[in-house]
Each structure stands twice: as structure tokens, then as C-alpha cells.
Chain A
């Protein structure tokens, strides 16, 4: 079962604009990860934020985590057409979970040139 929900389900913007995607989850977590998937390809890991972290940056990506609200957001700044893809958040529980991830439903981002 999928515990994560992402919003919006789809986002359409112009090149140069910022894109913000949100993710909510239901149980306590060890970390939260964001992945990108281009059409017909596998998932690519973007960023991992631990449960004791509140914000993390990687290039044009900024991720925030609010464990009290059980939510996270991914901000892509100065978007490019090449950022067009599906974006998934995934949560990992603590304990012996063998790295099992629970994925959100995903946000489809379209960046128009």
C-alpha cells in the first residue's frame, strides 16, 4: 500500500520558473528521498533528507522536511525543459526494513521551453 501522497498530481510551468512539489506521509520515518523518472526510464535518486534534518540543498534542488506535519517539499529553481519528468517522494521507516521504500503517487512536471 502507498502511504505517500503528492500534490499537485501534475504541474505545468515555463522555463525559468520555479516548481514546488509537496509530499505527505503517515507513519514515522528514518528518512525521505526524492526520485526523478524520465519517460520510459528508471528512477534517479535526487536527494535524501534524514528525519533529524529540516532542509537540504543540492544544486537547483531544495528539500524541506517537517516531521511534525509529516510532510516534505521539493523546490526546483530556474527550471529547464530537461526537468520535465515524474517526481516521486519515498519514505523509509526505521528499524530492520531492508531499505524498503514507500513511494508517493508522484507529480508529473512539464516545463515548456
Chain B
């Protein structure tokens, strides 16, 4: 079991749908991350939140909209996605400090029809 919980585990949506991915941690971590991972590839960083503020956006298309309502919760709002957006979306959190590892959830497997 991981300490970072992601819901839902699987999501199938059409290109015109709006949906949200949710990530929750109760470890007191103040840095949270969204990654996209394609099959047999490493995770690609999308967004970083530090103390609930968006600190890094890796030039992600606006059809992905992150939100950090509080220090325990991270959302990723999805709208008008494309088939190439089908992937495993991973959330991670980390204690602040130079030499702290990231803790990952098990991800949401997203399929765009």
C-alpha cells in the first residue's frame, strides 16, 4: 500500500468530457507533483506545487488544469483531451529539503476514446 492515494484507478473518457483526477497524502508533505507516463517510458513531469502554489509548469497544454485546494490534496482537471493523452498519470509528494525522495501513488490509468 502506498501513502499517496490516487482516484480513480482507471478512467475512460471521450474527447469532449470533463473529468478530474484526485491525489491525497497525509504525510505533511508540502511539495506535490503530477507526472504523465507512457508505456515503457520514464515519468514525465507535468506540474509541481510547493506550499500549495504552482511552482513549475512544464509547458503542459491548457486542457490539463492542476489545482491544489490544500496541503493534502492535489487535483488534475481534464477537458477536451486527445487520444495521445492516454497514459498513466502519477502523483507524488515530498517533504521539503534537498535530499528527500518522492513518494508516488499507484496512478490513474487514463484512456481517451
A residues with CB within 8 A of B: 2, 4, 30-31, 33, 35, 40-45, 48, 50, 88, 92, 94, 98-101, 103-106, 108
B residues with CB within 8 A of A: 2, 4, 6, 31, 33, 40-43, 45, 48, 50, 55-56, 90, 92, 94, 96, 98-107, 109
- Top 3 A-B pairs, shortest CB-CB distance: A103-B42, A42-B104, A45-B101
Residue pair B98, A31 in contact (C-beta under 8 Å): yes
Residue pair A43, B98 in contact (C-beta under 8 Å): no
Q: How far is the CA of A40 from the CA of B2 in the complex (A)?
A: 13
Given A31-B99, A105-B41: A99 and B104 within 8 A (CB)? no
Residue pair B42, A48 in contact (C-beta under 8 Å): no
Residue pair B4, A42 in contact (C-beta under 8 Å): yes
Q: How far is the CA of A35 from the CA of B2 in the complex (A)?
A: 14
Q: How far is the CA of A92 from the CA of B97 in the complex (A)?
A: 12
A9's nearest neighbour on chain B, judged by CB, is: B40
Q: How far is the CA of A103 from the CA of B36 in the complex (A)?
A: 12
Tell me the total A-B contact number using a CB cutoff of 8 A: 65
Inter-chain pairs besides A48-B99, A98-B50, A99-B31, 17 sampled, C-beta below 8 Å = A30-B98, A30-B99, A41-B106, A41-B107, A42-B92, A42-B104, A42-B106, A42-B107, A88-B43, A98-B31, A98-B55, A99-B94, A99-B96, A100-B45, A100-B56, A106-B40, A106-B42
Chain B residues closer than 8 Å to A30, beta-carbon distance: 98-99
Residue pair B90, A43 in contact (C-beta under 8 Å): yes
Cβ contact of A101, chosen from B50, B102, B103, B109, cutoff 8 A:
B102
Given A31-B98, A100-B45, A103-B42: A44 and B31 within 8 A (CB)? no
